[in-house]
Amino acid sequence: MAASRAPWMEKPGPLTRAAKVLAIAIIVMLMLYPFAYVIFASLTPPGETLRLGLIPTDWTLDAYRSVLSGRIIPRALMVSIGITAVGTVLSVAFTTMLAFGLTRTKDIPGSKGVLYVVLFTMLFGAGLIPNFLLVKELGLLNSYWSLLLPGLISAFNMLVVRNFFMQIPAELTDSARIDGASDRQVFVRIMLPLSKAVIAVIALFYAVGYWNAFFNALIYIQDTSKWPIQLVLNTYAVQGSPISQIENPNAAGSMTPQAIQMAIVVLATVPILCVYPFAQRFFTKGVLTGAIKG
C-alpha cells in the first residue's frame, strides 16, 4: 500500500490553480497601480483628467523637460549615480576581503574577536549624536565621504559572504597554497570567481542602499549642490518647496506642480529599477547559498 502524501504535495485541482492565478493577478495589480499612476500623472498636461483614475486623456513630456532643464535635478542624479557606483564597488571590495579573512578564524590570531565585534554591531548602534560627532571629528562633514564611509560594510552582507566562502571546499584553497599561491592569489583567483552569485546579491543590496540614502545626506550635507536625488526629492516633491527654485520658470508655468513632482519621483526611481534585471538571476541562488551553512 502506497504511503499517503501530505496535502501540500498533491497536485492542485483546477479551482485551486484558478484561485492562485487570481490572487497573484490581484497582488500584481495592487503593486503596479501606484507606480503606473505616478508615471501617467507626470505625463498629464494642465486641465486634463485621468480616465479610470489612471490613463490620461492627453500626453506631454513638458514636466520632464522642465525638470531636466534646471540644474539641481540633473546634478543630483549625477551625485547619486556617482555615490552609488563608488560606494557599491568599495563596499563589495571591503566586505569580501573582511569575509575572507574571517573564514580563517583558526589560523589568524584575534580574528574571532573581530567577528564578535562585527556581530555586536547588528545588535547595538551608537546612535545619531555619537555618529555625527565622529563624522565631524574626522572632517567628513559636507563631504561625499560622509555618505560612503559610515555604511561601508554591512554586518549582514559580510555574514552572507562569509558563509558562502566557508562552503567552498577547503581542498581547493589547500591545493592552491601547496602550489605556492598566496592568500591574495587564493582570494582573487579562486574565491571571487566561485562567488559571483553572492557578490551580485550583496552588490544589489549595497546599490539600493546607497541610491535610497536620505538620512545621512540630510544630517551630514549642508551644501545643496552636493545633495543626492533622494534629498532633492524629499525637499521639492514631498515638502512641496516652490518649483520655480529648481525649474525653468517658463516651462514650469505650463505644468501643474503635481506633474513636476511625479516627474521627479520617476527620475529618482527608474535608474535603480533598471539594475534589478541584471542581478535577478543571481538573487535566489546567492541568498540561499550564502545564508545556509551545511
The mean pLDDT value for 150-158 works out to 89
Q: Tens digits of per-residue pLDDT, 261-283?
A: 888 888 888 888 887 776 666 66
Cβ atoms within 10 A of the Cβ of 291, count?
A: 14
For the stretch 232-243, what's the b/e string if a residue is b when 16 or more beta carbons lie within 10 angstroms of its beta carbon? bbbbbbeeeeeb
Task: Please say if the pLDDT value at position 3 is more than 60.
Answer: no
**pLDDT of res. 294:** 44
286, 201 Cβ separation under 8 angstroms: yes
**pLDDT of res. 83:** 94
Place 232 in a pLDDT band, splitting at 50, 70 and 90. confident
Place 119 in a pLDDT band, splitting at 50, 70 and 90. confident
CATH number for the region 68-291 comes to 1.10.3720.10
List the single range of 51-60, 232-241, 244-253 with lowest mean pLDDT: 244-253
Place 26 in a pLDDT band, splitting at 50, 70 and 90. very high
Q: pLDDT above 70 covers what percent of the chain?
A: 80
Q: Tens digits of per-residue pLDDT, 65-83?
A: 888 887 888 899 999 999 9
What is the pLDDT of the chain when averaged over all its residues?
80
Cell of 21: 492565478
Place 241 in a pLDDT band, splitting at 50, 70 and 90. low
Q: Tens digits of per-residue pLDDT, 182-224?
A: 888 888 888 888 888 888 889 988 998 999 888 888 899 988 8
User: Quick one: three-class SS letters along 98-160?
Assistant: HHHHCCCCCCCCCHHHHHHHHHHHCCCCCCHHHHHHHHHHCCCCCCCHHHHCCCCCCHHHHHH
Kindly report whether the global pTM for this prediction surpasses the value 0.75: yes
Task: Please say if the pLDDT value at position 1 is more than 50.
Answer: no
Task: Please say if the pLDDT value at position 225 is more than 50.
Answer: yes
The mean pLDDT value for 22-30 works out to 92
Residue 50 φ/ψ, nearest 5 degrees:
-95, 115
Q: What is the DSSP letter of 244?
A: G
58, 48 Cβ separation under 8 angstroms: yes
76, 264 Cβ separation under 8 angstroms: no
- Count the helices and strands in the chain (H runs, E runs): 15, 2
Domain with CATH 1.10.3720.10 in the chain: 68-291
Task: Please say if the pLDDT value at position 22 is more than 90.
Answer: yes
- Helices 155-167 and 111-121, interaxial angle, to 10°? 140
